[in-house]
Structure 1
Amino acid sequence: MTSNRKNLDGFAVATMILLCICWGLQQVAVKIAVPIISPSMQLGLRSGLAAVLVLCLILVRRIPFSVRDGSFLPGMLAGSLFAAEFMCISIGLNYTSASHMSVFLYTAPIFTVIGLHWLIPSERMQASQWLGIISAFAGVAIAFSAAFQTNSHALNDMLIGDAFGIAGGILWAATTVAIRRSKLSEAQPTTTLLYQLLGAAVLLLLFSALKGEFQAEKFYPQDWGISIWLNLFFQTISIAFASYLTWFWLLRRYLASRLSVFSFLTPLFGVAAGVLLLDDPISPRFVLGAILVLVGIVLVNFRRN
């Protein structure tokens, strides 16, 4: 029901801009800590810590939660897809820049509307959304081609990383569609988030363990330093816990179609943060491709009611 939802006011706009800044900084925060902690370990640790915080919130606020309400199996699916998405991010950031990851990961809205178009009759795409699909895929092709301006070794690395970014976007879209098509669409936001965080924590930390990253000669929490702890704190509290819960809170009070349009700001902030904080190189061809992707995101989120 959208009757209880309202159009965006100043508070909602300001909050969405702040959320997009946080999400745009996500890849940069992970990339900064890569020399000390692998991406998979970072994302696994922050997901696990955030899951504990969500569970505490459920207990303190006495928010309804049950594994017998039909949400368990969809929750396991959503958690697995969420974990796979972040596994793609963790692998991809070893090969490509934070700026590239920000753009390719946030192709997710494009794949979401395609999935919903085929699975939910009420979500059939309009002409403007088809134009958005065309614009976004043209942008992806152009942005991908920017890698060919580098030397052969860097080319292979960047293409691998960019491909994992696209895969992450597809998995993110699959998570959204799975939630929309299941009992989770009616569940408490904390329930959905808890399943996703637990799935990411278990699978990513298992992945790190299988790679031997918890071995004594590689795992030095005592030597991380204040900057790494602050980074992990930011990723856990600001992104994995507060920002996701705030997003769900907004969805319960404002029109989702209006909120979703702001998603184009996230890769914009991500690219800017990558350039300013990590000196990520960006070519004119990548900029053109990114612009087309952003235009596509705006168009696919625009529906005439």
Structure 2
Amino acid sequence: MNILIGLLCLIWGFNWVFMKLANGVFPPVLFAGYRFALGALVLLVVCYFRKVPLPRGKDMFWYIICGILQTMYFNLAIQLSLVDLSAGLTSVLTYSMPLWLTLMAHYWLPGEQLKLRKLVGIVVGIIGLFIAMDAHFGGTTGAMLLALSSGLSWAISNLIIKRKLARCDMLQFTTWQMVFGAVGLLLYSFIFEHGTSHWGLMPVVYVGFAGVIGSALAFVMWSYILSKVEASKASISLLLVPVVGVISGCLVLHESLTGFMVVGIALVLLGIWLVNGKSQAAAPAGKLGA
């Protein structure tokens, strides 16, 4: 499972490069709509050939809710926050998701009680992420709250997956929540955005990678991981995503790598270790239960 989580972080982290490049040729929300529409189309084709049945009525309700929270609102909040905030600060506020999910899991997910080591690990990881992104407190309070709400909406969606949809077909769930989310993004762009798209070979590559790899494949992987792994441990591992994004930006876009970024990355790794590592007190209990 650790290998799968690592691969997911690499995909989503490198996808930041394509998202940054795509901002120069597409209106931002429209690009997100294109991305998830392509991802949904690919998954619908896969579902057809694998003979995945249509969702049941009671599941469809939750699919729509998750599509709104995880795909539509999550991406809208990020794109609109970037108008007034730096990419680094937006990333930090968005990836506060593990903290919200861990707090909610303590109350609503059996067996996922909040422990001091886990809380310290998440806080250390988020502080490290803040340093690694070299973020600054700029922009309006409204924009910061909007970015923060993107992480909260993602956390609520993940909580729904764990509580209501853990036994569902994850391919079916990912497909239909992405369909509803893509429709919402495209409708928003049609009504509120006024920019133009500049198509060419590279813009097609941006949409293709972000849609097929960064959306269809990655969200199927994430849904599967979340259904199998403790919510807090799965989510804290995603702090590696913006770290991979920073490193990818340095390698591909020739962005600078500062000492603060290196220190921040080390703190992110420490936070992940604190959450996922077994405490000394827990080790003997594990041996006794074996």
- Structure 1 residue corresponding to 2:64, chosen from 76, 94, 100: 76
Query: Is residue 188 of structure 1 aligned with residue 176 of structure 2?
Result: no
Partners of 2:248 and 2:134 in 1: CA distance: 22
Partners of 2:218 and 2:32 in 1: CA distance: 15
Query: 1:110 corresponds to which letter in structure 2?
Result: L
Aligned to 1:225: 200
- Structure 2 residue corresponding to 1:34, chosen from 17, 20, 23: 23
List per-residue Cα deviations over 1:50-92 (Å, max 9, x = no partner).
1122112111111233232x20111121111111111112223
Kindly report which structure 2 residues correspond to 1:106-117, keeping only aligned pairs within 5 A, or say none.
Answer: 106-117=95-106
283-292 vs 262-271, greater mean Cα deviation:
283-292
Change in Cα spacing, 1:205 to 1:94, as seen in structure 2 (3 Å) is same
> C-alpha displacement at 1:137, in angstroms?
5.5
Query: 2:170 corresponds to which letter in structure 1?
Result: P
Aligned to 2:187: 206
Partners of 2:275 and 2:240 in 1: CA distance: 14
> C-alpha displacement at 1:277, in angstroms?
3.7
Q: Partner of 1:66: helix, strand, or coil? A: coil
> C-alpha displacement at 1:145, in angstroms?
8.8
Q: Partner of 1:185: helix, strand, or coil? A: coil
Query: Is residue 271 of structure 1 aligned with residue 253 of structure 2?
Result: no
- Alpha-carbon contact 1:132-1:295 (below 8 Å) kept: yes
Query: Is residue 166 of structure 1 aligned with residue 148 of structure 2?
Result: yes
Query: 2:33 corresponds to which letter in structure 1?
Result: G
Question: Runs of 5+ in structure 1 lacking a partner?
Answer: 1-7, 149-154
> C-alpha displacement at 1:263, in angstroms?
2.8
Q: Partner of 2:196: helix, strand, or coil? A: coil
Partners of 1:138 and 1:208 in 2: CA distance: 34
Partners of 2:203 and 2:153 in 1: CA distance: 28
Q: Partner of 1:123: helix, strand, or coil? A: coil
Change in Cα spacing, 1:124 to 1:259, as seen in structure 2 (3 Å) is closer
Aligned to 1:152: none
CA RMSD of aligned residues (A): 3.3
Partners of 1:260 and 1:219 in 2: CA distance: 36
- Alpha-carbon contact 1:21-1:269 (below 8 Å) kept: yes
Question: Runs of 5+ in structure 2 lacking a partner?
Answer: none
List per-residue Cα deviations over 1:156-204 (Å, max 9, x = no partner).
27x776654433222211110022121x221101122123212321221
Q: Partner of 1:170: helix, strand, or coil? A: helix
Partners of 1:120 and 1:248 in 2: CA distance: 16
Kindly report which structure 2 residues correspond to 1:40-189, keeping only aligned pairs within 5 A, or say none.
Answer: 40-68=29-57, 70-82=58-70, 83-136=72-125, 138-139=127-128, 146-147=135-136, 155-156=138-139, 164-182=146-164, 184-189=165-170
> C-alpha displacement at 1:47, in angstroms?
0.8
Count of residue correspondences: 278
Partners of 2:151 and 2:208 in 1: CA distance: 25
Q: Partner of 1:75: helix, strand, or coil? A: helix
- Alpha-carbon contact 1:78-1:195 (below 8 Å) kept: no
- Alpha-carbon contact 1:98-1:270 (below 8 Å) kept: no
- Alpha-carbon contact 2:92-2:126 (below 8 Å) kept: no
> C-alpha displacement at 1:208, in angstroms?
0.8
What percent of counterpart residues are identical?
Answer: 26
List per-residue Cα deviations over 1:105-141 (Å, max 9, x = no partner).
3332222111111212321122311222442455577
TM-score of the superposed pair, with normalisation by structure 1:
0.76
- Alpha-carbon contact 1:81-1:172 (below 8 Å) kept: yes
- Alpha-carbon contact 1:31-1:39 (below 8 Å) kept: no
Aligned to 1:3: none
Partners of 2:119 and 2:60 in 1: CA distance: 35
> C-alpha displacement at 1:100, in angstroms?
4.6
Aligned to 1:151: none
Partners of 1:117 and 1:76 in 2: CA distance: 25
